[in-house]
Chains A and B, each alone.
Chain A
Amino acid sequence: MAIISIEGNAKQLVLTVQEYSLFAWRAFLNLFRPPIYVVDFLVQSDVIGFGSIPICVLSGFFTGGVLALQSAATLASFGATAVTGRFVALTMFRELGPVLTGVMVSGRNASSMASELGSMVVTEQIDAMRALGVDPLRKLVTPRIFACITMLFFLTILSDFMGILGGAFVTVFMNHQNGTQYFSMAWESLRYPDVIQGLVKPLFSGYIIASIGCFYGLKTTGGTQGVGRATIQAVVWSSVFIIVADFFVTRVMLFIFS
């Protein structure tokens, strides 16, 4: 019985990977083919981008702050507290800014996409759209992917900026160090490869968030309970894949800029 269950789950996993690969490929191709639903893109940009600003501001600021707190204690033992700005800037731009922003936006938007599209599936609205001669992949998925990639790019910049501000706040008001020195070290330490590395990652994360959110939404079965399951799967898998993609992108970027 257990073996049958394992076999069934393995087949289901392979089937899901196959379905997602085909879905993601079609969605990717649609980014470059008409019709482009500009209004839908703008609406989704508003929902994903502007709607996510508060969480990115807060998470960025406090991540930068905690980095400054943690690093100051360690750096003090080497007498190197002056490089706090460098440490915060590099960590935020290269890693924590893109990854944390991706995970935060994923929690908010992959779940929203999966539940919205899942509800449309169970109420036959997706079938109705197809019956009216409109491709849901182009009308619903492509604008979300395009908006998510674009907005995550700018949200990551905002998060990086807020992280450096958060670090500055802790450095100046809690560690009582020189603010000018902090900003000077942060600015001087950043190189183009660091910035490029940090800004390439959200392009992948944005694609992962929207494609997985929409995939699980459109795959929903089993009524309202199914919508709940789709939402959980969308958040879990998009968060995991953001971190996995981060590893590979970092590896490639380090290879390119080494």
Chain B
Amino acid sequence: MNTLPPSGQHGQNSVLTEETQAPVLEFQHVTISFEGPPVLNDVSFTVAPGETRILLGPAGVGKSVLLKLANGLLRPDSGSIRLFGEEIAIMPEEQLFPLRKRIGMVFQEGALFDSLTVRDNVAYQLIQQRVADEEIDERVREALTFVGLEETFSLYPSSLSGGMRRRVAIARAFIHHPELLLYDSPTGGLDPVTSTTIIELIVKERDVHRTPSLLVTHRIQDAFTLCTHHFDKEKNAMVPLPEGTIDLGTTFLMLDEGRLLFDGSLHDLVNSSNDFVREFLE
């Protein structure tokens, strides 16, 4: 086992305490197919409270499908999915909506509503809940400040760059302080500088609010950055953890051809003897 990071927020005690609690999300033998061979085949894993799980795998192996299964946007052919302790695999759509309100999801291309301003996009859920306008404005500005985009308040998504759209999507996912975060390739198609900005936001959310999350990516460098960095509140920036230490709350899953090949820590990942894992890391 690797040593723990020095920050109090990454202390072993807190991780151990959280590990004793029921998982936030639990997949058991989940299989799904779309007119062909299974996209996901007998997949089982859990996301514990406070844990960040990074789902690795090449393009087209079912990572996004798995994420959509996690909040009931898709239904499995077989198996069980428990979200906040409730079985959602066979839950009617109407009963899923209250559960989804407790989740923040960042889509691959942002999925912002074109016809709404950034303010209305970020506040979408609050507007539906008929929260007062003054409170909405305040919370939207707070969320946009968190992602460093205060100046986009009144703009429309069409006038934003790809990276900015992704950050607005993150602000939309964070604004209601979700109990679980799902990120679908948040850095996909972005330049390295913007990717680092996005990863910094994810690390910041992880270390400031300790929100459990499931992050899908095929970029191994992003995954390693998440493991080897933490957010320094005093510097208000992401900084590397001391040499030889990693964030123990951040662990890995790896998919290939619909099967879960790996489930473990960074240490286990880099020392894996599985040929596919080794090839992917290289």
Any B CB within 8 A of the CB of A128: yes
Interface residues of B, CB < 8 Å — how many?
Answer: 22
B97-A135 in contact (CB<8A): yes
* A127 partner residues in chain B, CB cutoff 8 A: 68, 73, 107, 111
A128 with B93: CB separation less than 8 A:
no
CA distance A133 to B126 in the complex (A): 11
> What is the interface of chain B mostly: helix, strand, loop, or mixed?
mixed
Residues on B with beta carbons closer than 8 Å to the beta carbon of A130? 73, 97, 100
B94 within 8 A of A: yes
Q: Is A134 an interface residue (CB 8 A)?
A: yes
Contact: A135 with B107, CB < 8 Å? no
Contacts of B111 in A (CB 8 A): 123-125, 127-128
The distance from the CB of B117 to the nearest CB of chain A, in whole angstroms, is 15
Given A132-B101, A133-B97, A133-B101, are A124 and B109 neighbors across the interface (CB < 8 Å)?
A: yes
CB distance from B143 to the nearest CB of A (A): 14
Render B21-62 as a binary contact track against A, CB cut-off 8 A, 1 for contact.
Answer: 000000000000000000000000000000000000000000
With A and B bound together, what is the CA distance between A61 and B221 in angstroms?
67
- Expressed in whole angstroms, the Cα–Cα distance for A123 and B108 within the complex equals 10
**Using Cβ atoms and an 8 Å threshold, which residues of chain A touch B94?**
135
Q: Is B107 touching A124 in the complex (CB atoms < 8 A)?
A: yes
Give complex CA distance A131, B83 in Å.
Answer: 14
Q: How far is the CB of B162 from chain A (nearest CB, A)?
A: 13
Given A130-B73, A131-B73, A133-B125; A124-B97 close (CB under 8 Å): no
Q: Which of A112-134 contact B (CB under 8 A)?
A: 123-125, 127-134
- Give a binary string over A207-223; 1 marks a CB under 8 Å from any B CB, 0 the rest: 00000000000000000
**Residue among A127, A131, A132 having the largest count of chain B Cβ atoms under 10 Å:** A131
7 interchain pairs (CB within 8 A)? A128-B105, A129-B124, A132-B125, A132-B128, A133-B100, A133-B125, A134-B128
Query: B-side interface residues toward A, CB under 8 Å?
Result: 68, 71, 73, 93-94, 97-98, 100-101, 103, 105, 107-109, 111-114, 124-125, 128, 172
